[in-house]
Structure 1
Amino acid sequence: MSRAVLSIGSNLGDRLAQLRSVVDGLGDRVVAVSPVYTTAPWGGVEQDDYLNAIVLVDDPRFGPNDWLRFGQQLEQAAGRVREVRWGARTLDVDVVLCVEEGAVYRSDDPELTLPHPQAHNRAFVLIPWLDVQPDAELEVDGTARPVRDWLAELDAGERAGVRPTEFVLSAATEGSAS
Structure 2
Amino acid sequence: MADLYLPGGKLADQITLTGLTATGYHGVFDHERQNGQEFIVDLVIHSTFQRAAFSDDLSHTISYADVADRVVEIIEGEPVNLIELLAERIADAVVAMGAWAVDVTVHKPKAPIDHTFADVSVSVRRTSVLLQSPKPAAQVVVGIGSNLNDPVTQVEIGAGKVARILEYERMSNTRVTSAQVMPGTPTQPNYINAVMVGYTTLSPLALLAELQRIEDEQGRTREERWGPRTLDLDIVSYKINGHEILSDDPVLTLPHPRAHTRDFVMGPWGEVDPWGTLRGKPVRP
For structure 2, the residue ranges without an aligned partner over 5 or more in a row are 1-136
What stretches of structure 1 move > 4 A for 4+ residues in a row? none
> Would you say 1:98 and 2:238 are equivalent positions?
yes
Instruction: Give the match for residue 136 of structure 1.
Output: 276
**Aligned pair 1:14/2:150, yes or no?**
yes
- The unaligned stretches of length 5 or more in structure 1 are 150-178
Q: Pairwise mapping of residues 95-174 of structure 1 onto structure 2 (< 5 A)?
A: 95-139=235-279, 144-149=280-285
What is aligned with 1:84? 224
Q: Does 1:57 align with 2:198?
A: yes
Deviations 1:121-149 (A, max 9, x none): 1111111111101111111xxxx211223
Q: 1:114 to 1:137 in 2, by over 3 A?
A: same
Corresponding pairs, count: 144
Q: What is aligned with 1:170?
A: none
Q: Aligned partners of 2:159 and 2:168: how far apart in 1?
A: 7
In the TM superposition, residue 101 of structure 1 has moved relative to its aligned partner by 3.1
Q: Is the 8 A contact 2:181 2:188 kept in 1?
A: no
| 1:151-176 per-position Cα deviation (integer Å, ceiling 9, x unaligned) | xxxxxxxxxxxxxxxxxxxxxxxxxx
Aligned partner of 2:180 among 34, 37, 42: 42
Alpha-carbon distance in structure 1 between the residues aligned to 2:245 and 2:205: 11
Tell me by how many angstroms 1:21 deviates.
1.8
CA–CA distance in structure 2, aligned partners of residues 73 and 125 of structure 1: 22
Q: Secondary structure at the match of 1:120?
A: helix
Task: Give me the TM-score of the superposition, normalised by structure 2.
Answer: 0.48
Aligned to 1:4: 140
Retained in 2: the 8 A contact 1:23–1:30?
A: no
2:160 to 21, 24, 40: 24
Distance 2:168 2:152 in 1: 17
In the alignment, residue 191 of structure 2 is paired with which amino acid? Y
Percent identical across equivalent pairs?
38
Q: Structure with the greater relative contact order (CA < 8 A, sep ≥ 6): 1 or 2?
A: 1
Give the distance between the partners of 1:103 and 1:63, measured in 2 at CA. Answer: 15
